[in-house]
Structure 1
């Protein structure tokens, strides 16, 4: 039998409500990973699955310490067992895409790491967690998934960590990959994935995450933004800053003036956009203001990249080179 490691972190997939007709009001992270596995007896025919509980929380309450534990456990598992087929992580959907992107930047192994969640609690009449988990295990065991890096499996679709995002608060089809679409899908026939085009970048493959993480806030663009927010970030000496700019990542005149007036050291700063899709391209004023375009990364994923860049001691040129090289 193939061997697989399941790391449980909580979320809606492990959530419980007062009755089976309730799908909006529930407590996330109630059931353990063993209970999730037991709810899908078909998994016993696919692989020998070891279950470990990393956390049991709503993913809105996920901490950097949980990320550190996940990265360490996955690295150790792959190093200790060459025959381990892959890793599946059950996760809350609210921050699932951020964890997936973090692991994509840190885990250097061709074997699949697959994140999966649910939009309805385990107690719901039409709970989507069991089928999502079955699909995730099937993908993690498949030869087709090798080399793709970290994947997200939801509602029968297989998404790449860099592109996937949660676009809706309800409904089982809440996840999508804007601009690119999913990598493939899984159904009764099997796993349908595009071929791996070449070796992938794992820029922080040998970086060990510390216990202390830097401050990297996200500033959201809007009509007549309050300059005090940006000024406070700069005077607080934050290590990095992500702008969720309007349109194609645009800052307001007021925000630009705050940056122009700031005489102290500038943190690493990325411009993303609030639109939900579309890239942020380089602008003539970026270098003068100390900014870098985030490319196709949404604000929350730009923050993940910026966190790792700051921790690794990267400068603006190193970060720019990585973003420019990313598809």
Structure 2
């Protein structure tokens, strides 16, 4: 029987509502990981599961301290237990993609780390959490998942950490990988994934996460954005900035003027886009303004990468090498 570590962090999958017909008004992070596993007895046929409770919160309330604890626990589990087949993390859906991407950049092991959540609380009629959890464990112990990096399993689909994102506020099919699609799927026949093609690059495998994380805010693009927002960030001495630019990651003329007028050293800055899909390419004036394109990363994932780059002491050219962009 494969051995599996399940790390529970709360979320809707562990949520509770007043009655079974209530899908929206509920409290996330009520049931513990042991209760989630006990509610799916079929898991006993897949793996010997050890459950640990890392947190029990709505994922909107997840903290950097929780991320640090997850990374340390996963690294330690893989380093000390060669018989461990993989790790499953139960997680709220609101920030699940950010945690997945963080772990993709930090965890260097061929054994799978699989994140799973639910769009309906555990008390709901036709709750999706139990099946999602069963399928996540199925994927985590499968040979096909080895070497694939961090995966997200939702609604029978298997997504890669870099591309997956939450695209809807309701419905069990709320996750997608825009521009690429899921890596595979899982059903009652088995796990359907192409075998990993080779070793993957884990740029921050040796990075020890500090207790105090750098400030990296996200500035949202819109019609006539308030320059005071960008100025306040620069004056506060933030370590990095992510712009959710309009269109293909475009900054307004007013924002560009603020950057041009800034006399002190600029922080590391990335341009993402607010469209939901599509790349951001290098632009002619990026170097002049101190900007870099986030490529296919959405703003929240660009922030994760930028935060780790700041912690690692990277400069603009080193960060450029890590960005998923097309070099013309």
Task: Give the TM-score of the pair, scaled to structure 1.
Answer: 0.99
Give the match for residue 296 of structure 2. 296
Q: Kindly provide the CA deviation profile for residues 219-269 of structure 1, in whole angstroms up to 9, marking residues without a partner as x.
A: 000001000000000111100000000000000000000000000110000
Secondary structure of 2:5 counterpart: strand
Gaps (5+ residues) in structure 1?
none
Q: 1:305 to 1:230 in 2, by over 3 A?
A: same
Give the match for residue 212 of structure 2. 212
Q: Kindly provide the CA deviation profile for residues 204-231 of structure 1, in whole angstroms up to 9, marking residues without a partner as x.
A: 0011101010100000000010000000
1:195 Cα deviation (Å)? 2.6
1:197 Cα deviation (Å)? 2.3
Secondary structure of 2:21 counterpart: coil
| Structure 1 CA distance for aligned equivalents of residues 126 and 288 of structure 2 | 54
Give the match for residue 273 of structure 2. 273
| Structure 2 CA distance for aligned equivalents of residues 244 and 200 of structure 1 | 28
Give the match for residue 73 of structure 1. 73
Give the match for residue 84 of structure 1. 84
Matched, 1:310 2:284: no
Note if contact 2:39-2:130 (Cα within 8 Å) is conserved in structure 1.
yes
Give the match for residue 151 of structure 2. 151
| Structure 2 CA distance for aligned equivalents of residues 196 and 296 of structure 1 | 21
Secondary structure of 1:229 counterpart: helix
Q: 1:147 to 1:295 in 2, by over 3 A?
A: same
1:198 Cα deviation (Å)? 2.1
Secondary structure of 2:26 counterpart: coil
Q: Kindly provide the CA deviation profile for residues 126-157 of structure 1, in whole angstroms up to 9, marking residues without a partner as x.
A: 10000000000000000000000000000000
Runs (4+) off by over 6 Å: none
Q: Where do 1:1-327 residues align within 5 Å? A: 1-323=1-323
| Structure 2 CA distance for aligned equivalents of residues 145 and 326 of structure 1 | 27
| Structure 1 CA distance for aligned equivalents of residues 326 and 95 of structure 2 | 22
| Structure 2 CA distance for aligned equivalents of residues 322 and 198 of structure 1 | 18
Note if contact 2:293-2:325 (Cα within 8 Å) is conserved in structure 1.
no
| Structure 2 CA distance for aligned equivalents of residues 28 and 8 of structure 1 | 12
| Structure 1 CA distance for aligned equivalents of residues 198 and 171 of structure 2 | 34
Q: 1:325 to 1:225 in 2, by over 3 A?
A: closer
Q: Kindly provide the CA deviation profile for residues 72-122 of structure 1, in whole angstroms up to 9, marking residues without a partner as x.
A: 000000011101000000000000000000000000000000000000000
| Structure 1 CA distance for aligned equivalents of residues 95 and 325 of structure 2 | 25
| Structure 2 CA distance for aligned equivalents of residues 141 and 297 of structure 1 | 29
1:196 Cα deviation (Å)? 1.5
| Larger deviation, residues 112-121 vs 39-48 | 39-48
Gaps (5+ residues) in structure 2?
none
1:199 Cα deviation (Å)? 1.4
| Structure 2 CA distance for aligned equivalents of residues 256 and 131 of structure 1 | 49
| Structure 2 CA distance for aligned equivalents of residues 326 and 158 of structure 1 | 25
Task: Give the TM-score of the pair, scaled to structure 2.
Answer: 0.99
Note if contact 2:112-2:140 (Cα within 8 Å) is conserved in structure 1.
yes
Q: How many residues align?
A: 327
